[in-house]
Amino acid sequence: TVSFPQWDIHVDVMVDDAPEAGVEEFLGSYEVRYITWANLNIDLMSSYSGGDGGNFFHLSHPLDAGQRIDFFISHSWQDNVAVKWQELSVLAKNFQASNGRYPTFWMDKFCLHSSNSDPTVALQGLTVCIKACDRIVALCGSTFPNRLWCAWEVFAMTAFLRQREAMERVQFIPLKEVVGGVLFDVQQAFKEFDVANTECSSFVDYHRLMRIINAVGRSDFNAKIRLIVSQMDSCIGGQGAEIEEPQRQHWGEGLELIAAENAQEPIAEEKEVVTAEVDPAAEKA
């Protein structure tokens, strides 16, 4: 038996325990979208901005009330696209063989309607999107543990699910990448995870995400990410182990903090990659 850590992180959206109830409650205020397998190809997966003139939202479809998405896909846009596409293709073909149709997907590039000035709504909506998906798949390549958004998604994919449900629905798929002549070991990489070493291509996203993480304490966030992945070992490429039922996990305060700050402190968009800097006060929080 394994158990997830107790959460002490808050956002101002709390989704009900039952996935269907949570999705139905928020569909009226946040539009969940999905993309079909027919609309995906390796060129579109090559980078976040590459493809059809940088406009990808039109490739996705709004989710109807009562409808479910088959897979929530978490991945790094910096990972090897050929290896990533191969794993995604296997996932789609196996699903088609079992269900007689190709699956639907949630992917940020096509389904996340974010603002250049403030990702707060996207952060809130992410929880609803996770609840709307039957399975959650993390395609973990060599850059996955070093991306701030990927770390946040790893946290969010378990924080709004019961422990048993998370172990049944979440799957980590290591991408077979060779780094420095050695096959990349995603489990080892997460054992050494430190949010101070993560990067984010958007300064605005970096700032807002780190405001939430700093409100909790970076050391605490690091420990939670390491523990999540260590307890999901049995889900890496396979099925989950039997686990204990969790207590409800409540979120509420962190996004209120950044929403209030957003009204007072506009931030100019920056293009360069941002790396987190260690804040001693946050480390001690």
pLDDT of 6 reads: 43
pLDDT of residue 81: 92
| HEC-encoded secondary structure of 112-164 | CCCCCCCCHHHHHHHHHHHHCEEEEEEEECCCHHHEHHHHHHHHHHHHCCCHH
pLDDT bucket at 229, cuts 50 / 70 / 90: confident
- First-residue to last-residue Cα distance in the chain: 30
126-161, pLDDT tens digit by residue? 888 888 999 999 999 999 999 999 999 988 887 766
Residues ≥6 apart with Cβ < 8 Å to 205: 119, 148, 149
What phi and psi, each to the nearest 5 degrees, are found at residue 69?
Answer: -100, 140
DSSP 47-89: -SS-SSTT--GGGSEEPPTT--EEEEEEE-TTS-HHHHHHHHH
Supply the pLDDT for residue 271.
Answer: 41
Of the ranges 53-57, 80-84, 107-111, 246-250, which one carries the lowest mean pLDDT score? Answer: 246-250
pLDDT at 54: 56
Is the pLDDT confidence value at 197 over 50?
yes
60-117 tens-digit pLDDT: 999 998 899 999 999 999 999 999 999 999 999 999 999 999 999 999 889 886 555 5
Q: What secondary structure letter does DSSP report for 248?
A: P
- Mean pLDDT score across all residues of the chain: 73
* Residue 3, CA distances (Å) to 135, 153, 167, 242 in order: 20, 19, 10, 10
Q: And the tokens for 55?
A: 């406009």
Q: At 143, list the tokens.
A: 């850059």
pLDDT of residue 119: 61
